[in-house]
Amino acid sequence: MGRSKKIIVIGGSAAGPKAAARARRLDENAEITIIQKGKYLSMASCGYPYYVGGVFDDRNQLISTPAGVIRDPNFFSNAKAIKVYNETEAIDIDRKNKKVICVNHKDNSEFELQYDSLIIATGSLPRIPQLTGKDLAGITTLQSMEDADFLRKIRDDKKIKKAVVIGGGLIGIETCEALQLAGIQITVIEQESQILMFLDPELAKLMENHIRAKAANVITNNAVVEFLGENGKLTAVKLKNGIELPCELAVVAIGVIPNTKLAEKAGLTIGSARGIAVNEFLQTSDENIYACGDCIEIPNLLTGIKNNAPYGDLANLEGRVAGGNALFGNVRKFPGTIHTCICKVFDYSAGSTGMSEYKAKKMGFDVESVVIAGLDKPGFMKGKLLITKVTADKKTGRLIGLQCVGAGDVSKQIAQAAIAIMGKLTISDLVNADLPYAPPFTLAIDNFVACCHTLENKINGLFKGISSYEVNEKVIKREPVFFLDVRSPQEFEEMRLGIGETLIPLGALRKRLNELPEDKNKEIIVYCKISLRGYEAARIIQAHGWTNVKVMEGGIMAWPFYREK
Amino acid sequence: MGRSKKIIVIGGSAAGPKAAARARRLDENAEITIIQKGKYLSMASCGYPYYVGGVFDDRNQLISTPAGVIRDPNFFSNAKAIKVYNETEAIDIDRKNKKVICVNHKDNSEFELQYDSLIIATGSLPRIPQLTGKDLAGITTLQSMEDADFLRKIRDDKKIKKAVVIGGGLIGIETCEALQLAGIQITVIEQESQILMFLDPELAKLMENHIRAKAANVITNNAVVEFLGENGKLTAVKLKNGIELPCELAVVAIGVIPNTKLAEKAGLTIGSARGIAVNEFLQTSDENIYACGDCIEIPNLLTGIKNNAPYGDLANLEGRVAGGNALFGNVRKFPGTIHTCICKVFDYSAGSTGMSEYKAKKMGFDVESVVIAGLDKPGFMKGKLLITKVTADKKTGRLIGLQCVGAGDVSKQIAQAAIAIMGKLTISDLVNADLPYAPPFTLAIDNFVACCHTLENKINGLFKGISSYEVNEKVIKREPVFFLDVRSPQEFEEMRLGIGETLIPLGALRKRLNELPEDKNKEIIVYCKISLRGYEAARIIQAHGWTNVKVMEGGIMAWPFYREK
């Protein structure tokens, strides 16, 4: 091709600029243009909650390079020879003539741009509940620089006392922390029975408890049905159950939907998950148009089913692939997602990769899961707690999911598991994983490997597990279970469930088997602090003929309900 | 088998107790015995440097369960129904009659124990240089509880002012930090040309610089040839080059050798790496004898070649496998090692998994490597620096090594890479890895993925790299290279190499190409702070016809030599 290729990128947040920059690095001679509806470019939008919360104060850090240069049109022009039209909207695509029709919102002028390859990166739009009062002042999302500025000002002004966050997902929970750190009394309202739906309920409940312990309130199984106001200002939200919660601020964080308006108008195929349909090369139904970022749908690598995966890291990776393919044709594939995610909430983190047990079962997998409590480092190095749930596919033996919450190094646990899932490693492979070990970083047997050991033991029938939720049900129903705590008397004094349990320390168990139920078929549920001793106790009891012995997974540390002490 | 199986474990440090405990959990009825030469059992020996350095003060934490129970013979008896003979040495194995002959060192009594299966876990012995003066007081290793007690007392007494650490490997460097924190003036002496041989030299040099910056001295390419003393006490060490270094303490940390004495005496096969030879089931040349831990040799998973791999985590994993196989026959395999390791040194960490570039080339692999500097988290979240070197096998495209040093989260980088190597993932797989992303934990494109992007670019010929070492050679030899720094004038003012470089900021480069050498074949070496802008500049310059353009990998942040400013 003699002349240089013309590439237009629609969208300037994450995927778009990445695609444009990648294309530039691959071809110095291409003509590359970004059309961005908003004012700002290449925003670190995942950083908004930390700016709002005061973790840092210089908002320009959200839109600057690591060297401190603001990523404005001037920067793109000088450093990357990329022409940027910001505050400019692509309102139509003339696919036949390969033109994009644009409106400059600064002066309302309309103009056309010619392309050889087009990249659509129009992102996502926040869901907004269509409720009475939704236009009252004081209702916002946290999706844009302007939102971040608005909420940061509220923080700095210190006038607002009460706020609600609608939605207990990643953004909602991060926003909860940000506003709580700003001294605002927060209530999170989630319509599902739990927050952080990527977690199974027993782990989500632990996060909920932690948020409450930090003085923010969480309401589940409820929803806002009306915004109430005075003089155009929000004064309260009304919930489904009739309660009115006074508040001066409501942040809506009930998810995002792919912004496919332009693609639809241009007649591009929209997929089953309502994102722009793309093939593995991120090519749309028009061979000259690629798409990347939140506006597309991509396959779940475990199920093959197309999903929205509106994560900032994937937007960048997709942009890199789309940028190259738009230049050279279909040279690189983007395989898909395993929905890896993480968020920090006060002193805890919560993350997940692959599928939760609930999701896996719903998708028809025959799975085995286990919940484990453990430290990330030795106690003498001030190790912190991790509660992990690991899920394997029984048919293949492969790891297909890991969730982890707690004060410890959750990020590493999730990252390790994500790579293991991508590498199709089985639990049998992972029980002997050669990981970096030294006491400042991890236990001799890293929590991840220990989890795989426990799951392997469970799969091999060495113990039967029972979740804290199931135990709690039994307690509530007063089922005739023999609860056995095998910790030391001192530990029992300091902390205990108080569910009618018997204390027999592990070290004394073999001599005190006579204190166990006479009926060898009676249900015995055994636990300790983290249920390592609980497991050892179960092995002993089973060996002595009791047939219905279960280990309460994760022990007391993973117990999310009321306890006596 | 009607009667319960008799299992004897020789060795009570890490692998041995793990094997015994695993066997107990698998079979409540087995008769399990541990014979331990020393007094202590199941010591967290990797924690010794942190006890010596005062990171924690309660030495019992090194020999206690997480619940605080000391792992003494009484604990093993009560909690695990395992009989322990400590301060007892297994002096011979009568393989024909399946007996172990023991000496109780408390009363010098000799006795025999019968086994069905035997597990040898005799560990390793520190190498001691056979030099004049080696028996002087003040010369020690850091391999036992007694060593740790000795060095901790030195710390607490605050009398010793100067010490040397002989050996710049993992233990040597950890010991250096521990003693330096104790207020002792330290010199590390390493006979090779670099410390931390698992790193390639350009990364090792950065660690060396950091140690020096913390006021500990490092001498490479030298060795102790004599210990000098007065009145039986160490007063100095004499080096190969004749220099005498005054010191009152010398810690010898020049590695360990498998302790195979007993196995050899029993006629078991010893392997090419001088460890006890075992098959993939950790079974020795005697089908009734298994071995695990530092005393054996295991395959490198990348080369198949047998190695010593004296790591605490592998000892535990091997113990778990040996414990089960000793009971039930060969039911579980231990696949081998990729030599994953990590250590903390003051504010930096250094880790490696798989092979260094040097090692891979030595083993005959055709590899491509790249060094990258980057942050572990966004700047606005106080991200810290990582210098990473990633190595791929050109033939298969597989990741075969990753080394990482710096103040950032090295542990996660190494862990991710270790799993990727075990999963046989290629660089092409990893460029689209779906990892956990949120600003408190990582960049939108995690350092690991960014490294894979860069290596892919290099493999695809998008740029030619040059290491800091090679650049330094050229500077020393005054080769006629055009050095180009593409940072901002402000950055140049604050920090610069001063190697005769020209400054042209990236954003101005396209307009100032006339300042580049007229000779389009002249060697141009370009860099910035981390060499991301350097890479972009190289792409521009190449596109304009210069043919010999190289990017200095890792930029100024990875430059380990003298700089002007």
Q: Where are the domains of chain A?
A: 6-124+257-328, 139-254, 347-459, 464-558
- Please give the ipTM for the structure prediction: 0.97
Gap between the Cα atoms of A500 and A483, Å rounded: 7
CA of A174, closest CA in chain B: separation in Å?
10
Point out which residues pair with B245 in neighbouring strands.
B237
The reply to whether residue B47 touches residue A381, judged by beta carbons under 8 angstroms, is yes
pLDDT at position A146, please?
A: 96
CATH for B139-254 is 3.50.50.60
The reply to whether residue B301 touches residue A334, judged by beta carbons under 8 angstroms, is no
CA of A438, closest CA in chain B: separation in Å?
6
Please report residues of A whose CB lies closer than 8 A to that of B29. 543
The reply to whether residue B422 touches residue A433, judged by beta carbons under 8 angstroms, is yes
Please report residues of B whose CB lies closer than 8 A to that of A148. none
Longest dimension (CA), chain B: 90
Please report residues of A whose CB lies closer than 8 A to that of B25. 462, 535-536, 539
DSSP element (H, E) containing B299: strand B298-299
Which residues are CB-neighbours of A355 under 8 A, at least 6 positions away?
A: A302, A303, A339, A363, A365, A391, A400, A401
Query: What distances in angstroms separate CA A21 from CA A24, A30, B430, B547, one per listed residue?
Result: 5, 11, 20, 23
The reply to whether residue B51 touches residue A342, judged by beta carbons under 8 angstroms, is no
Q: Mutate which of B31, B63, B170, B437 to disrupt the A interface (most A C-beta within 10 Å)?
A: B437
Start-to-end CA span in chain A (Å): 76
Helices (H), A191-311: 201-213, 261-265
The reply to whether residue B349 touches residue A61, judged by beta carbons under 8 angstroms, is no
The reply to whether residue B424 touches residue A419, judged by beta carbons under 8 angstroms, is no
Helix (H, G, I), strand (E, B) or coil at B218: strand
Q: Mutate which of A314, A352, A411, A486 to disrupt the B interface (most B C-beta within 10 Å)?
A: A411
Burial of B1 (0-12, 13-18, 19+ CB in 10 A): exposed
Query: What distances in angstroms separate CA B82 from CA A203, A507, A540, B8, B344, one per listed residue?
Result: 36, 12, 13, 10, 35
Of all residues in chain A, the one with the smallest CA distance to B456 is A332
Q: What is the architecture, at CATH level 2, of domain B6-124+257-328?
A: 3-Layer(bba) Sandwich (3.50)
CA of A483, closest CA in chain B: separation in Å?
19
Record: fold of B347-459: Enolase-like; domain 1 (3.30.390)
Please report residues of B whose CB lies closer than 8 A to that of A436. 340-342, 351, 353, 411, 414-415, 418
User: What is the number of CB-based contacts under 8 A between chain A and chain B?
Assistant: 298
B340, HSE (Cβ side, Cα atoms, 13 Å): 30
Q: Mutate which of B380, B430, B506, B526 to disrupt the A interface (most A C-beta within 10 Å)?
A: B380
Please report residues of B whose CB lies closer than 8 A to that of A381. 47, 50, 55-56
The reply to whether residue B432 touches residue A317, judged by beta carbons under 8 angstroms, is yes
pLDDT at position B51, please?
A: 97
CA dihedral A494, A497, A503, A506 (to 10 degrees): -80
pLDDT at position B1, please?
A: 45
Query: Angle at Cα B58 formed by Cα B57 and Cα B64, nearest 5°?
Result: 145
pLDDT at position A3, please?
A: 80
Please report residues of B whose CB lies closer than 8 A to that of A81. 510
Tokens of A561: 């309900």
Helix (H, G, I), strand (E, B) or coil at B303: coil
Gap between the Cα atoms of A406 and A387, Å rounded: 6
pLDDT at position A67, please?
A: 87
The reply to whether residue B344 touches residue A487, judged by beta carbons under 8 angstroms, is no
Which residues are CB-neighbours of A229 under 8 A, at least 6 positions away?
A: A133, A136, A137, A138, A235
Q: Which of B3, B4, B7, B2 is nearest to B82 (CA)?
A: B7
Which residues are CB-neighbours of B258 under 8 A, at least 6 positions away?
A: B124, B273, B274, B275, B276, B294, B295, B296, B297, B308, B310
Q: Mutate which of B42, B411, B431 to disrupt the A interface (most A C-beta within 10 Å)?
A: B411
Give the nearest partner residue to A412 out of B61, B412, B425, using CB atoms: B412
Q: Which of B443, B449, B453 is nearest to B420 (CA)?
A: B449
Of all residues in chain A, the one with the smallest CA distance to B331 is A428
Gap between the Cα atoms of A148 and A142, Å rounded: 6
DSSP state of B273: T
Is it true that B6-124+257-328 and B139-254 share their CATH fold?
yes
The reply to whether residue B444 touches residue A540, judged by beta carbons under 8 angstroms, is no
CA of B80, closest CA in chain A: separation in Å?
8
Residue in the block written with tokens 């301060």: B87
Gap between the Cα atoms of A30 and B539, Å rounded: 13
Of all residues in chain B, the one with the smallest CA distance to A346 is B440
Gap between the Cα atoms of B112 and B407, Å rounded: 53
CA of A216, closest CA in chain B: separation in Å?
20
Helix (H, G, I), strand (E, B) or coil at A544: coil
Gap between the Cα atoms of B256 and B293, Å rounded: 12
Of all residues in chain A, the one with the smallest CA distance to B422 is A433
Please report residues of A whose CB lies closer than 8 A to that of B319. none
Gap between the Cα atoms of A125 and A122, Å rounded: 9
Of all residues in chain B, the one with the smallest CA distance to A79 is B507
Please report residues of B whose CB lies closer than 8 A to that of A528. 67
Please report residues of A whose CB lies closer than 8 A to that of B449. 313, 317
Residue in the block written with tokens 């036949």: A96
Of all residues in chain A, the one with the smallest CA distance to B171 is A438
DSSP state of B280: T
Question: Burial code of B459-470, b = ≥16 C-beta within 10 A, e = fewer?
Answer: eeebbebbbbee
Query: Cβ distance A563 to A556 under 8 Å?
Result: yes
The reply to whether residue B317 touches residue A445, judged by beta carbons under 8 angstroms, is yes
CA of B260, closest CA in chain A: separation in Å?
24
Record: fold of B464-558: Oxidized Rhodanese; domain 1 (3.40.250)
Of all residues in chain B, the one with the smallest CA distance to A332 is B428
Q: Mutate which of B435, B455, B486 to disrupt the A interface (most A C-beta within 10 Å)?
A: B435
CA of A493, closest CA in chain B: separation in Å?
14
Which residues are CB-neighbours of B243 under 8 A, at least 6 positions away?
A: B222
CA of A115, closest CA in chain B: separation in Å?
22
Give the nearest partner residue to B340 out of A431, A436, A542, using CB atoms: A436
Please report residues of A whose CB lies closer than 8 A to that of B316. 444-445
Please report residues of B whose CB lies closer than 8 A to that of A301. 434
Please report residues of B whose CB lies closer than 8 A to that of A152. none
pLDDT at position A394, please?
A: 97
Helix (H, G, I), strand (E, B) or coil at B384: coil
The reply to whether residue A444 touches residue B536, judged by beta carbons under 8 angstroms, is no
The reply to whether residue B61 touches residue A380, judged by beta carbons under 8 angstroms, is yes
Of all residues in chain A, the one with the smallest CA distance to B56 is A380
Which residues are CB-neighbours of A40 under 8 A, at least 6 positions away?
A: A12, A63, A86, A145
Q: Which residues of chain A have pLDDT under 50?
A: 1
Tokens of A536: 């050892």
Question: Burial code of B187-210, b = ≥16 C-beta within 10 A, e = fewer?
Answer: bbbbbbebbbbbbbbbbbbbbbeb
CA of A337, closest CA in chain B: separation in Å?
6
Please report residues of B whose CB lies closer than 8 A to that of A79. 506-507, 533, 536
Gap between the Cα atoms of A163 and A277, Å rounded: 38
The reply to whether residue B422 touches residue A445, judged by beta carbons under 8 angstroms, is no
Q: Which of A416, A360, A358, A359 is nearest to A392 (CA)?
A: A360
pLDDT at position A2, please?
A: 58
Of all residues in chain A, the one with the smallest CA distance to B378 is A66
pLDDT by residue, tens only, chain B of 565 residues: 458 999 999 999 999 999 999 999 999 999 999 999 999 999 999 999 999 999 999 999 999 998 899 999 999 999 999 999 999 999 999 999 999 999 999 999 999 999 999 999 999 999 999 999 999 999 999 999 999 999 999 999 999 999 999 999 999 999 999 999 989 999 999 999 999 999 999 999 999 999 999 989 999 999 999 999 999 999 999 999 999 999 999 999 999 999 999 999 999 999 999 999 999 999 999 999 999 999 999 999 999 999 999 999 999 999 999 999 999 999 999 999 999 999 999 999 999 999 999 999 999 999 999 999 999 999 999 999 999 999 999 999 999 999 999 999 999 999 999 999 999 999 999 999 999 999 999 999 999 999 999 999 999 999 999 999 999 999 999 999 999 999 999 999 999 999 999 999 999 999 999 999 999 999 999 999 998 999 999 999 999 999 999 999 999 999 999 999 9
Query: Cβ distance B236 to B247 under 8 Å?
Result: yes
**For chain B, counts of helices (H) and of strands (E):** 16, 30
Give the dihedral sign, CA B506/B508/B513/B517.
negative
The single-letter code of the amino acid at A304 is: G
A224, HSE (Cβ side, Cα atoms, 13 Å): 30
